[in-house]
Amino acid sequence: MGKVIASRLARLVATLLAVTFLTFSMTALLPGDPVNAILGVEAVRDPEVVAKIRADLGLDDPFFLRYANWLKDAATGDLGQSYITDQDVLTTITQRLPVTAQLAFMAIVMALILAIPIGVLGAYKQGKWQDSSTSAGVQIALSIPNFIVGIFLIWLFSVRLGWLPASNWNRITTEGLIQNLKTAILPASALAMTQMAIFSRLVRSDMIATLQEDYILAARSKGLSDRFILLRHALRPSSLSLMTIVGINFGALLGGTVIIEYLFAIPGVGFRLINAIFQRDIIVIQGITVFIATAYVVINTIVDLLYAVVDPRIRKG
Partner 1 sequence: MEHTDLDNRLPEFPRDRLSNVSASVTTGVDVAPKKATFQEVVSSMPLRVKFASLWIVVVVVGAIYAKIDTSWLGGSLPLQDPNFQTNGFDRATGSFGTGEPIEGMSAAHWLGTDAIARDTFARLVHGGWVSLVVVVVSAACGVIIGGFLGSLVGFVRGRTETVIMATVDVILAFPALVLLLALVSIFEVRNLFVISTVIGVLSIPAYTRVARANALAISSRQFVTAARAIGTKPSRILFREVIPNVLPTLLAYAMVAAAFVVVVEGSLSFLGLSVQLPTPTWGNMINQARRDIKLNVAQVIWPSLALSITVLSLNQVGDFFQQRRAVKGSNL
* Binding residues vs partner 1 (CB under 8 A): 15, 18-19, 22-23, 26, 29-31, 41, 139-140, 142-145, 147-148, 151-152, 154-155, 159, 208-209, 212, 250-252, 254-256, 258-259, 262-263, 273-274, 276-278, 280, 282, 285-286, 289, 292-293, 296-297, 300
Q: At its nearest, how many Å lie between partner 1 and the CB of residue 106?
A: 18
Q: At its nearest, how many Å lie between partner 1 and the CB of residue 223?
A: 26
Q: What is the 3-state secondary structure (H, E, C) of 143-193?
A: HCCHHHHHHHHHHHHHHHCCCCCCCCCCCHHHHCHHHHHHHHHHHHHHHHH
Q: At its nearest, how many Å lie between partner 1 and the CB of residue 194?
A: 9
Pick the closer one to partner 1 by CB: 185 or 252: 252
Q: Are 38 and 89 in contact (CB under 8 A)?
A: no
The C-alpha atoms of residue 199 and residue 134 are separated, in whole angstroms, by: 13
The C-alpha atoms of residue 3 and residue 227 are separated, in whole angstroms, by: 40
**Is 150 buried (19+), middle (13-18) or exposed (0-12) by CB count in 10 A?**
buried
Pick the closer one to partner 1 by CB: 23 or 189: 23
Pick the closer one to partner 1 by CB: 65 or 159: 159
Pick the closer one to partner 1 by CB: 55 or 298: 298
155-193 per-residue burial string, b: 16 or more CB within 10 A, e: under 16? eebeeeeeebbbeebbeeeeeeeeebeebbbbbbbbbbb
Q: At its nearest, how many Å lie between partner 1 and the CB of residue 286?
A: 8
**Nearest-CA neighbor of 190 among 172, 171, 167?**
167
Q: At its nearest, how many Å lie between partner 1 and the CB of residue 108?
A: 15
Pick the closer one to partner 1 by CB: 84 or 180: 84
The C-alpha atoms of residue 256 and residue 292 are separated, in whole angstroms, by: 12
Q: At its nearest, how many Å lie between partner 1 and the CB of residue 228?
A: 25
Pick the closer one to partner 1 by CB: 90 or 142: 142
Pick the closer one to partner 1 by CB: 187 or 256: 256
Q: Are 87 and 287 in contact (CB under 8 A)?
A: no
Q: At its nearest, how many Å lie between partner 1 and the CB of residue 205?
A: 9
Q: What is the 3-state secondary structure (H, E, C) of 42-59?
A: CCCCCHHHHHHHHHHHCC
Pick the closer one to partner 1 by CB: 17 or 309: 17
Pick the closer one to partner 1 by CB: 27 or 180: 27
Q: Are 46 and 39 in contact (CB under 8 A)?
A: no
The C-alpha atoms of residue 166 and residue 292 are separated, in whole angstroms, by: 26
The C-alpha atoms of residue 266 and residue 229 are separated, in whole angstroms, by: 43
Q: At its nearest, how many Å lie between partner 1 and the CB of residue 208?
A: 8
The C-alpha atoms of residue 11 and residue 17 are separated, in whole angstroms, by: 10
Q: At its nearest, how many Å lie between partner 1 and the CB of residue 5?
A: 19
